[in-house]
Amino acid sequence: MTTPEIEALAAERLAADTAATTRRTTLSLGQAWRAFWRHPSPPMILTALVAASVARVLAPGGDLWEIAIPVALVALFPVIEWVIHVLVLHWRPRQVGPVRIDSLLAREHRAHHADPRDIPLVFIPWKALVWLVPAGAAVALLAMPTLSSALTLLVSAAALMFGYEWTHYLVHSDYRPRSRAYRAVWRNHRLHHYKNEHYWFTVTTSGTADRLFGTCPDAADVPTSPTVRKLHETDAGPATISG
């Protein structure tokens, strides 16, 4: 249960962040795009995308049904994004005997919530991409019936991952939303970071998978969370879970 003091603090944080963004109105979309490339994950993902695309062009065969792969992936992406955000990024650390289960992705995401304006924390950690990209390639090759269909899946997945990185970066940058669609995405993600971390999990869309899974309530009906910047903590301190 929140108190008036917590509500006031959340409003102050949101107002300060908005004011800081509003003051820096000189950041154009082009400037945001150039700044985007100063971080390691965009070039890494683009390299994977180009490599998969070249391999797909050179691969023999291919059937018309493969068009369904990118179509299905685009349709499912909000759900995939929601599941990863909830189960992987918001993973609550667990102690199983002497082993603490707490991935790099979850640790970095907690740091991202602690300071949403720390831009390097916005991106997928490059250390995670080093194994995520080859692991994804291995899964695609094992899961798909042909080499061409596996490469089509890899191209589609890399393109969507790149789109995710760009959208997430842009939402946290000083670029102000202009289109109606982007304003909806921008507001949705800001509610997740400044209002309540238990709702609004999609990043590249708004009102899609969150509506499906019941995590897109009216913001006016949701109490401001005291742990929105301290995931898995309580007023008494960090939460602990025994295996």
Length of the chain: 243
% residues pLDDT > 70 (the chain): 85
Tokens of 144: 């798909």
Q: Return the domain boundaries, the chain.
A: 29-179
Query: What pLDDT sits at residue 178?
Result: 86
pLDDT in tens, 187-220: 999 999 999 999 999 999 998 999 999 999 999 9
Tokens of 70: 């990118």
Ranking 6-20, 120-134, 160-174 by mean pLDDT, the lowest is 6-20
Query: What pLDDT sits at residue 232?
Result: 87
CA distance 57 to 34: 29
Average confidence (pLDDT) over 152-163: 98
More reliable by pLDDT, 27 or 66 = 66
Do 6 and 230 contact (CB within 8 A), yes or no? no
Contacting residues for 182 by C-beta, under 8 A, at least 6 apart: 170
b/e 226-239 (16+ beta carbons within 10 angstroms → b): bebbbbbeeeeeee
Residue 233: beta bridge partners?
238
Average confidence (pLDDT) over 134-154: 96
Query: What pLDDT sits at residue 73?
Result: 97
Confidence band of 6 (pLDDT split at 50, 70, 90)? low
Please give the C-alpha separations between residue 241 and each of 92, 99, 111, 144, 233, in angstroms, as whole numbers. Answer: 8, 12, 20, 38, 12
Q: Where are the alpha helices (DSSP H) in the chain?
A: 4-23, 29-36, 41-58, 68-84, 104-114, 126-143, 147-172, 180-194, 209-212
b/e 208-225 (16+ beta carbons within 10 angstroms → b): bbbeebebbeeeeeeebb
Query: What pLDDT sits at residue 45?
Result: 98
Tokens of 127: 């250390």
Residue 96: beta bridge partners?
99
More reliable by pLDDT, 11 or 101 = 101
In one-letter notation, the amino acid at residue 22 is T
CA distance 11 to 228: 12
Which residue shows structure tokens 């924390």?
Answer: 121
Q: Is the pLDDT reported for residue 143 higher than 50?
A: yes
Q: Is the pLDDT reported for residue 104 higher than 70?
A: yes
Tokens of 213: 């899974």
Which residue shows structure tokens 């969370």?
Answer: 225
Average confidence (pLDDT) over 228-232: 92
In one-letter notation, the amino acid at residue 125 is P
Q: Mean pLDDT over all residues of the chain?
A: 89
Tokens of 208: 């899609």
Query: What pLDDT sits at residue 238?
Result: 43
pLDDT in tens, 18-62: 555 444 456 899 999 999 999 999 999 999 999 999 999 999 888
b/e 59-93 (16+ beta carbons within 10 angstroms → b): eeeeeeebeebbeebeeebbeebbeebeeebbbeb
